[in-house]
Homo-oligomer: A and B are copies of this chain.
Amino acid sequence: MMDENAAREAVVRAADELFYARGVQAVGMDAVRTAAGVSLKRIYSLFASKDELIVAVLHHRTGVWDSGLASASERATTARERILAIFDFLDAWFREPDFRGCAFINTHGELGASSTAVADAVREQKRTFQQYVAQLVADAGAPPALAPQLAILAEGAQTTAAIAGTPDAAHHARAAAETLLDAAVPARPAAVVGS
């Protein structure tokens, strides 16, 4: 039998995929059971309710997003490059065949009005991303006001790509980010990250 951690992870991963592909409310716990290979009894011993599972899925997605972003910026050496790497990361994501927009935005639109736990988890993820951008902006020597502008570009690219069904928005957002960076950063070599 699976130990508790393995069962927990199997359930969260299966629920994540199903929720993302079809929407949370369109997926029954039976479908999660089948996909995860974990009995309903066990699922309900690991999570008190579907709501709790939803929050666990959002936390799991936060980790996936953070590590994806981190690995996408690994090759970048300057803060400016790291900022632009965000949009390259988005571009690659938008091209995945099962891309269906940002799971946090989707889930917030679906359940944010009725579940404060969901709204909180989504808000927390976005706040973390904004802080990540703010750090890069500071590293680049740009004024702090640039950070929310870049974050808004990233958010807008995600919804635009999801609705249009094309990855173009990543390219447009990246071009806008470059313009904003050029306008914000004093005209001298960008600072190296961490310097």
The answer to whether A152 touches B173, judged by C-beta atoms less than 8 angstroms apart, is: yes
CB of A160 closer than 8 Å to a CB of B: yes
Interface 1/0s, chain A 158-170, versus B by CB < 8 A? 1110111100110
| A151: Cβ under 8 A from any B Cβ | yes
Interface of A is mostly: helix
Q: Tell me which of B107, B113, B126, B172 contacts A100 (CB under 8 A).
A: B113
Encode A165-195 as 1/0 by CB contact (under 8 A) with B: 1001100110110011011100000000000
Q: Which of A1-46 contact B (CB under 8 A)?
A: 21-23, 25-26
Do A160 and B165 have beta carbons less than 8 Å apart? no
| Complex: A154 Cα to B184 Cα, angstroms | 20
CB-CB < 8 A to A135: which residues of B? Answer: none
Contact in complex: A163, B123 (CB < 8 Å)? yes
**Nearest B residue to A152, CB-CB:** B156
Which size class do A's interface residues fall under? 35 or more
Question: What residue in chain B is nearest A149 (Cβ atoms)?
Answer: B176
With A and B bound together, what is the CA distance between A176 and B106 in angstroms?
A: 25
Contact assessment for B160 and A155 in the assembled complex, using a CB-CB cutoff below 8 Å: yes
- Quick check: is A55 within 8 A (CB to CB) of the other chain? no
Across the interface, A155 reaches (CB within 8 A) one of B25, B127, B159, namely B159
Question: In the bound complex, do residue B173 and residue A122 qualify as a contact, i.e. CB atoms below 8 Å apart?
Answer: no
Given A123-B165, A145-B175, A159-B155, A23 contacting B183 (CB threshold 8 A): no
Q: A22-B114, A127-B164, A155-B156 are in contact. List 16 more A-B contacts (CB 8 A).
A: A21-B113, A22-B113, A23-B113, A25-B25, A26-B114, A105-B159, A106-B110, A108-B162, A109-B162, A123-B163, A123-B164, A153-B153, A153-B156, A154-B156, A158-B159, A183-B183
